[in-house]
Amino acid sequence: MSTETAVPARCDPRGQRAQRLAVGTALCLAISFGLELPIPMVAPVLAVFLFATLNRPLSLKAVLGLALVLMFTKGSGLMLIPLLHHYPFSGVLLISVGLFLAFRYGLRGGNDLVSTFLVAGLTMISAAGTTDFGLAVMVIGALVEGLLVAVSVLTVCHWLFPEPAGLQALPPATVLPDNEASRMALRAALLVLPAFLLALSDPAGYLPIIMKSVSLSRQSCTAAARGAAGELLGSTLLGGALVIVFWCALSEIDPGKRTPIL
Three-state SS across the chain? CCCCCCCCHHHCCHHHHHHHHHHHHHHHHHHHHHCCCCCCCHHHHHHHHHHHHCCCCCCHHHHHHHHHHHHHHHHHHHHCHHHHHHCHHHHHHHHHHHHHHHHHHHHCCCCHHHHHHHHHHHHHHHHHHCCCHHHHHHHHHHHHHHHHHHHHHHHHHHHHCCCCCCCCCCCCCCCCCHHHHHHHHHHHHHHHHHHHHHHHHCHHHHHHHHHHHHHHHHHHCCCCHHHHHHHHHHHHHHHHHHHHHHHHHHHHHCHHHCCCCC
- Identify whether residues 148 and 237 lie together within a single domain: no
- d(Cα 143, Cα 128) in Å, to the nearest integer? 13
- Identify whether residues 41 and 26 lie together within a single domain: yes
What's residue 3's pLDDT?
A: 43
| Residue 168 falls inside a structural domain | no
What's residue 27's pLDDT?
A: 92
- Identify whether residues 208 and 247 lie together within a single domain: no
Mean pLDDT per 10-residue section of the chain, whose length is 262 residues: 45 77 90 87 84 77 76 78 86 90 82 80 84 80 85 87 68 70 83 85 76 69 58 74 81 58 44
- d(Cα 98, Cα 92) in Å, to the nearest integer? 10
Cβ(181)–Cβ(221) below 8 Å: no
What's residue 171's pLDDT?
A: 61
What's residue 31's pLDDT?
A: 92
What's residue 227's pLDDT?
A: 63
| Residue 127 falls inside a structural domain | yes
- Identify whether residues 216 and 248 lie together within a single domain: no
- Identify whether residues 196 and 240 lie together within a single domain: no
Domains: count for the chain:
2
- Identify whether residues 58 and 100 lie together within a single domain: yes
- Identify whether residues 205 and 188 lie together within a single domain: yes
- Identify whether residues 138 and 240 lie together within a single domain: no
| Residue 208 falls inside a structural domain | yes
- Identify whether residues 124 and 246 lie together within a single domain: no
| Residue 104 falls inside a structural domain | yes
| Residue 249 falls inside a structural domain | yes
- Identify whether residues 158 and 251 lie together within a single domain: no
- Identify whether residues 120 and 147 lie together within a single domain: yes
Instruction: Evaluate if pTM is beyond 0.75.
Output: no
What's residue 221's pLDDT?
A: 55
| Residue 6 falls inside a structural domain | no
What's residue 5's pLDDT?
A: 44
| Residue 1 falls inside a structural domain | no
- Identify whether residues 123 and 235 lie together within a single domain: no
Which residue range is the domain that position 121 belongs to? 15-163+174-222
What's residue 207's pLDDT?
A: 75
Whole-angstrom CA distances from 23 to 26, 47, 244 are 5, 10, 20
| Residue 2 falls inside a structural domain | no
